[in-house]
Structure 1
Amino acid sequence: MMIIEALLANAAILLGLALILWVLALQADDVSFVDAFWGGGIALLAVLSWLRLAEPGPLATMLMAMVVVWGVWLALQRLLRWRREGADPRYARLLAPARARGRFALAALFKVFLLQALLMFVIASPAQYGILEASWDQAISGMALTGLALFVAGIGCEWFGERRSDRLGLTGTACVWWGIWIAAASAGWWVAAWTAIGPILVTVLRFRNRG
């Protein structure tokens, strides 16, 4: 029950943040900075989960650090891109029909911010559940180290891929989240079973959207 309450609280905080950013987007008439929210919001979910532990153990701390490193890096990278390049034409195309009908605000809320928040919560499920399930004395096992190694390889691929704008970055994102899932699964097989949707979803979305 404590874990369910923690996850619900995380969801409520994420929803509140999404609504605040939606209001800011309406004032700026641009939703493109939501890409920075993607990384930052996922990092926030990991930190919130970690803070709920009375005595965070080594595995929980490792999982939190993995997600924060990835999320903060992505948030800064996307925020700088937005500041440098301005509005993202993908979002302009997505919201153009609604804008023409005078429904930009609702479309931005449901098609961008609420949808992103839902996807972020699901994708971050391995980190959240793994952190909350990891006991204070949970050792960092060989399985967790395997996940960490895959994560590090993924971070490297993403970094080089972002600079070269090729498929290496797509593969890197998939490796990052499969690595996090493997590390989280070391907290218990049930963590792996309930959160496999996270890395599957991020892999599908990343290769389909290529962005």
Structure 2
Amino acid sequence: MTGSLTAVALAGLAWTASLALATWAVSLVRHDASLVDRVWAILIAGAGLVYLALLPAPQTARGLCMALIGSAWALRLCIYITWRNWGHGEDRRYQAIRARNQPNFGFKSLYLVFALQAVLAWIVSAPFLPGMAAERPLGLLDALGAALGLFGFVFEALGDAQMARFKADPANRGQVMDRGLWRYTRHPNYFGEACVWWGIWLMAIGGAGWSGAWSIVSPLLMTWLLLKVSGVRMLESDIGERRPAYRDYIERTNAFVPGPVRPARLKP
């Protein structure tokens, strides 16, 4: 069984590598490395669907539920990011990466951006493998995991919808979004996304037991990326300089986990 699981896992890696390579080719034509953001979620959920199709054992309700949550999360996020970025060209984060890696960034982006994201996406897909391979009946951890995953999906989608509606109103230009879920966390979309992957991991443990505990690398990696790499830290690295009102928002609002609004600090 271990050998077959390894072969299935490698098939998942082949999926993420193939889609990343195809997206890289399009990015050369479009001069837009940020296209990788549009397929990031599809890389992950697609690997899960590869496992679902190739695992030798008949799929249980757990495997199908994991696939459904992962696919719904990926489809919504792919559509939302594509819609949000349509017609805006390369994201400024990738413009900065491009400027730092000239000349020949087009070739360098193959390994700096696309290959890296293919490997990271494959790692994040890890809980699908033990969870979908398990034949245990559904239990409490599955219920908790599914509930947490669905909560995260709704929380992230609601946060994105609130931000999109805020930005669509010309009266809000230059203002800080601190309404709805954004009143209690500066990044409800990231918090919701982390919940999705902790929930999927709980389902993997529900099926595989502690033999699947190794797949905790997935939610740990996703949470680290959201907090320290491409998420909170990168987005807020210079926003206080560009938008002074955001500094006040930081003082009164949690960065990630929702919490009560803190009172504004008195200015001397």
Global fold match (TM > 0.5) = yes
Judge conservation of contact 2:49–2:67 (CA < 8 Å) in 1.
yes
Mean Cα deviation higher: 151-160 or 81-90: 81-90
**Identity rate, percent:** 28
Q: Distance in 2 between matches of 1:95 and 1:190?
A: 43
CA distance in 2, matches of 1:31, 1:120: 17
Q: Which residue of 2 aligns with 1:29?
A: 31
Letter in 2 for 1:134: A
Deviation digits for residues 120-178 of structure 1, max 9, x if unmatched?
A: 011111123321x222xx32212101001111111121112223453222211111110
Partner of 2:5: 3
Shift in alpha-carbon separation, 1:155–1:98, aligned structure 2, 3 A: same
Between the aligned partners of 1:56 and 1:45, the Cα distance in structure 2 is 16
Q: Which amino acid aligns with 1:205?
A: L
Q: Relative to structure 1, is the Cα distance of residues 6 and 173 closer, same or farther in structure 2, using a 3 angstrom cutoff? A: same
Residues 33-44 of structure 1: pairs in structure 2 closer than 5 A: 33-44=35-46
- Are the equivalent residues in 1 in contact too, given 2:138–2:207 (CA < 8 A)? no
**CA distance in 2: counterparts of 1:128 and 1:29, whole angstroms:** 35
**Any idea what SS the aligned residue of 1:128 has?**
helix
On the 8 A contact 2:130/2:212 being kept in 1, the answer is no
Question: Counterpart of 1:126?
Answer: 127
Q: 1:115 deviation in Å? A: 0.7
Closer, same or farther: CA 20–46 of 1 in aligned 2, 3 Å:
same
Structure 1: gaps spanning 5 or more residues: none
- Contact in 2 for aligned 1:18/1:117 (Cα 8 Å): yes
Q: 1:105 to 1:159 in 2, by over 3 A?
A: same
Q: Is the 8 A contact 2:153 2:192 kept in 1?
A: yes
The code of the aligned residue for 1:104 comes to F
CA distance in 1, matches of 2:24, 2:211: 32
Task: Verify the 8 A CA contact 1:32 1:82 in the aligned structure 2.
Answer: no
For residues 30 and 66 of structure 1, what CA distance do their matches in structure 2 show? 29
Query: Higher RCO, 1 or 2 (CA under 8 Å, sep at least 6)?
Result: 1
- Is 1:94 the counterpart of 2:92? The answer is no
Q: What is the distance in 1 between the residues matched to 2:117 and 2:123?
A: 10
Tell me if the contact between 1:18 and 1:113 (Cα under 8 Å) persists in the aligned partners.
yes
Deviation for aligned residue 1:190: 3.7
Give 1:7 shift.
0.4
Matched-pair contact (CA < 8 Å) for 2:11–2:50:
no
Tell me, in whole angstroms, the C-alpha distance in 2 between the residues paired with 1:16 and 1:79: 20
1-side partners of 2:87 and 2:105: how far apart?
24
Superposed, 1:180-199 pairs within 5 Å as: 180-199=200-219
Instruction: Compute the TM-score of the two structures, normalised by the length of structure 1.
Output: 0.91
Structure-2 residue corresponding to 1:162: 160
Tell whether the 8 Å contact from 1:45 to 1:128 is kept in structure 2 after alignment.
no
Deviation at 1:106, TM superposition (A): 2.6
Structure 1 residue 191 displacement after superposition: 4.6
Change (3 A) 1:191 1:27: farther
Shift of 1:84: 4.3
Distance 1:171 1:126 in 2: 19
Q: Determine the structure 2 residue equivalent to 1:108.
A: 109
Instruction: Provide the secondary structure at the position in 1 that maps to 2:34.
Output: coil
1:71-105, CA deviations, whole angstroms, 9 ceiling, x for partnerless residues? 11111111112214332110010121223xx2212
* Equivalent-residue separation in structure 1 for 2:74 and 2:9 (angstroms): 19
Confirm or deny: 8 A CA contact 1:130 1:187 kept in the other structure.
yes
Distance 1:66 1:191, change over 3 A: farther
CA contact (8 A) 1:95 1:107 kept: no
